[in-house]
A and B are shown apart, each in its own frame.
Chain A
């Protein structure tokens, strides 16, 4: 299954550049057009997503049916199992969620939505993608080196990650750290561009509160990323030196401290959650406003709430370390900050829900995805409270409850948010309308199995099932028939969900080849990207950049007959 999907993928890439005129392959790779770079990020991210999905299929099979020869992989050894779970997490966060949500949609949306002809630093933009591609290649190589891929979890806690004797993947772990560090460099380069472009290249007349929320969100996310990633890059360099030249930054025998890494990692790692969350929230807001034909309820409230969330997210990191051996008194402080972050997050959700009030809601495919994001993310949000409350976390820490919780945040973010954005902007990206029926089949075929995968995992986590275990038969209390049944239900649901992705790739392909030609503004939306051709030519608005006269969410304005009012239309 993964293979056919990959081939469809490749077809897409080939067609994508045929489509953009008679450019040679080199011209395509060296393009500095933000839309082309967005597509490069999008397809690379999707390709990596297929690898990550394939990994999850293999280890879920091993978990549900221990010892079986997994079709398409074979027998899974404990070392391979660890490498699969480690790299599934690494790939999905660093090589799927970030490139697709921030880099692909950031690149595509920001210049088009603020009325610019391109990014301010097109060559840095290109360099960003090339470093990112290199990082992906380094990561993929790490799976095939002697010893296999790194298997010390995506959090890479030393001494396991630092000492070859312990992890038994000498080359794999060094390449893993190298790949992650390169990926950070790529996103630093990208982030500079997003922030600068938003600050300097807005269309005449576009004031701060006229910027579409998705652009704000991607830029705030980039700022969070750039402020938090420094310590982890330093940590990655230290870890790399511990691995390769035998320094002892994290080795207690030589005066180092393994817990230091955990602080550096989570100081970045928790803001990182908001780095990927915010773009998905922005996408959701724009889609909901469009298909509810409603002005956003409280634009400034939303914006300042987001900034508050971002600031708070720097003070919660040690809730990942309650039982890690930190001073127990610290847990009290971090419990307070962690639970307080539920206030702005709840407010974001309330604002989005309130926006629906008085609307005129059409359930198109992108709207279904956007609404599903809210419905599912709520589950992820409320289950996080159990883990932020130190007393309850003693039991839940490192169980499947945690795993189910963060998949209920990351899946809505990285998968549901991506499909929402992709189906919403597909007409603009490729100039064709997507098939709505196939889109809805794909939607339900993804959402229903998703819940069937992860609800049993909450139950297993409450039953004490802990994470990253190759074979639960070793633990008598976790090896009961009931628990294995729940694991098998989750695994079967995963396979069903993966199978439905074929519908998505088929839909993309068929719509791209035979779909109806997309008009400039198929959704009757207000933002600037809908005022140019679909797809926009190089330079975006060849006849001259637009002027902006109003905010992005003026739907159903009483002074106007139509229920939408594009930002660029003079009153």
Chain B
């Protein structure tokens, strides 16, 4: 699996593993039963098939019990999925910093708050296809689009959100690992969609403030 670089990445992976275990169980039981029956009841000379209507109570149990178990598994999965969903998408924790992410055909523009840590001030840093964030910091992102639908996806965070023209969608993440990773546009957005690649740089406090300083200078020139 790819690295878990946000506070909630592990919880999303855990839902995936939980679902994997539960449906894996059903899958092997059902396929096992299926192939065993095909083999067990293969046509043999002189053996006639049985006449079973399927209305008998003791036979219907073979359907209704597994049926109830499926329902129980569903409920477990629903509870787990909704909890994670609430944490990642519905809840919005207090932010240490806010960035703006703007999709357009076919590039991402990132607006960083700059040294004053406030967005929409003169010292904001604009970059294209390069997002710089600081580790262990809670970020809000304001997601916008200038033309068609795009989708902002950071696989190492396990976060994904479509951008819609005319709307600002707010989400959050908190990076936990430093490093440089891929980001993708995952909603088809025209002929350049396949090349709409960008990178995220997760830096520790020192490296990040160094970057803010250099970027401010470069931008001023």
Contact = CB atoms under 8 A, between A and B. Distances in A.
Interface of A: 77-79, 81-82, 151-153, 157-160, 163, 166-168, 252-253, 257-259, 292-299, 301, 322-325, 328-329, 331-332, 335-336, 339-340, 342-343, 346-347, 349-351, 353-354, 356-363, 371, 374-375, 378-379, 382-383, 385-386, 389-392, 394-399, 462-464, 466-471, 474-478, 555-558, 563
**Chain B interface residue bracket vs A:** 35 or more
B90 A328 contact: yes
A160 B149 contact: yes
B67 A469 contact: no
23 contacts: A159-B148, A160-B189, A160-B190, A167-B190, A253-B165, A294-B52, A297-B63, A298-B54, A298-B63, A301-B63, A329-B90, A339-B77, A354-B63, A375-B34, A386-B20, A390-B82, A390-B84, A391-B85, A394-B158, A395-B158, A555-B51, A558-B51, A563-B48
A335 B24 CA distance: 19
A475 B184 contact: yes
A394 B30 contact: no
Given A295-B54, A323-B161, A353-B33, A332 B82 contact: yes
Interface string B46-86: 01111111110001101100110011001001101111111
A156 to B, nearest CB: 10
A351 B63 contact: yes
Contacts of B77: 339, 385, 389
Interface of B: 1-2, 11-13, 15-16, 19-20, 22-24, 26-27, 30-31, 33-35, 37-38, 41-44, 47-55, 59-60, 62-63, 66-67, 70-71, 74, 77-78, 80-86, 88-90, 105, 147-149, 151, 153, 155, 158-167, 169, 181-182, 184, 186-195, 197
A491 to B, nearest CB: 17
Contacts of A563: 48-49
A494 B192 CA distance: 26
Contact of A389 (B37, B67, B81, B169): B81
A102 to B, nearest CB: 27
Contacts of A466: 153, 184, 186
Contacts of A324: 162, 164
A252 B82 contact: no
Contacts of B165: 159, 252-253, 258
Contacts of A323: 89, 151, 160-162
Contacts of B74: 339-340, 342-343
